[in-house]
Amino acid sequence: MKREIPLLITFIAGFLIVVALFIPHPPFNKIEETFNSWYIIVAGFTFILGIDSLILHNWEKIRRRSEGWPFALTVILSFFITLIWGIVSGVRTGHIFSTNSTFRNYFYLYIYVPLQATMFAILSFFIASAAYRAFRARTLNATLLLLTASIVMLGRVPLGNVALIPVISIAVLMLLWVLVDELKYVTSPTQRLIYIGIAVVAVVAAFPITKFLYHNLSPVTDWIMNVPQMAAKRGLFIGLALGGIAVSLRIILGIEQSYMS
């Protein structure tokens, strides 16, 4: 009873939604519409469980006076202040996002937006530091990642082709530096010759490549986005879809039951 009924509910809900995709006629389309509406309501209530966890976790920190407890208090206070402000403003004006809602005009514009935007903005600095680690072009894969990211970034901004000249110059200098550094540890004459060959090719090819990209940066970026990038994304999406369908089928058929624990 404690397991069978939930499994039956899962099966009926999932099965009817899938059936409605293949038979979009009454009564299945009506059932799908009703179920979707119910789903939004019930899923909304799961949020209360999450809120409970957030409040209890922080309350426990305050109760035990553990390190940083004033910040736990700040979390709880800001939660309730925002909630009460939103409810009062929403009830008064009909909706939290009404043009005359103080919640929208003050909390949202001057507290929430600055906090969220700045939080994501500082990630640009950490991404730069991560990029330094990821982009040390030691392997073919890392070099490809570096090249694509650089071309896409420069190709999508004004005057990107002008900035390309110093970028390629620095890239070639870095490559030469890495090659010279590696050369110290290479003993085989053939390998030395290969390293020197790569360095000569990089220096010789740098000028025509820069010239070509300077005049064709935008079409090259479009080609990267529309052909190799698109091919990989398609492969990833097809894999994702097949995986998602397989997992969903396992849930509907009751093979996957981890959500019952």
Partner 1 sequence: MHLSTSIWVWIAAFFTLAIFSFLYKDNPFYRFAESVFVGSSAAFAFLNLWFFDVKPKLWDPIAKGNILYVIIPLILSILMLTRFIPKIKWLSRWAIAFTVGMGAGLGITGMIQGYLVPQLKGTFLPLWVPGNLATTVNNWLLVFGTIFTITYFYFSKPIKGKFGVAAKIGIIFIMVAFGASFGYTIMARVSLLIGRVYFLLHTWLGMV
Q: Does 171 bind partner 1 (CB under 8 A)?
A: no
**Shortest distance, position 23 Cβ to partner 1, whole Å:** 12
Q: Count of CB atoms within 10 A of residue 146's CB?
A: 17
Chosen residue from 114, 165, 183, 203 binding partner 1 by CB under 8 A: 114
Cβ atoms < 10 Å from Cβ of 75? 16
Exactly one of 173, 180, 204, 240 binds partner 1 (CB under 8 A); that residue is 240
CB of 215 to partner 1, least distance (A): 18
25 binds partner 1 (CB under 8 A): no
Q: Return the structure tokens found at 5.
A: 């009924």
CA 190 to chain centre: 44
Residue 168 in contact with partner 1, rule: CB under 8 A: no
* Among 145, 179, 199, 209, interactor with partner 1 by CB under 8 A: 145
Of residues 75 and 206, the one with the C-beta less far from partner 1? 75
CB atoms within 10 A of CB 174: 14
Q: Which region, judged by CB under 8 A, interacts with partner 1, from 149-157, 175-183, 188-196, 208-216?
A: 149-157
Q: Does 100 bind partner 1 (CB under 8 A)?
A: no
Q: How far apart are CA 53 and CA 79, in angstroms?
A: 13
Does position 156 interact with partner 1 (CB under 8 A)? The reply is yes
Binding mask 49-78 for partner 1 (x = CB under 8 A): xxxx-x-------------x--xx-xxxxx
Distance CA 16, CA 32 (A): 7
Question: Nearer to partner 1 by C-beta: 18 or 175?
Answer: 18
* Residues 43, 44, 45, 46, CA torsion sign: positive
Amino acid letter at 57? Answer: H
What DSSP string runs through 193-260? HHHHHHHHHHHHHHHHHHHHHHHHHHHHHHHHHHTHHHHHHHHHHHHHHHHHHHHHHHHHTTS--GGG
Whether 151 contacts 220, CB under 8 Å: yes
Burial of 6 (0-12, 13-18, 19+ CB in 10 A): middle
Residue 9 as a binder of partner 1 (CB under 8 A): the answer is yes
Q: Does 198 bind partner 1 (CB under 8 A)?
A: no
Q: Is 207 a residue that touches partner 1 (CB under 8 A)? A: no
30-49: contacts with partner 1 (CB under 8 A): 35-49
DSSP H/E element including 61: helix 28-63
Nearer to partner 1, 21 or 200 (CB): 21
> Which residue lies nearer to partner 1 by CB, 96 or 202?
96
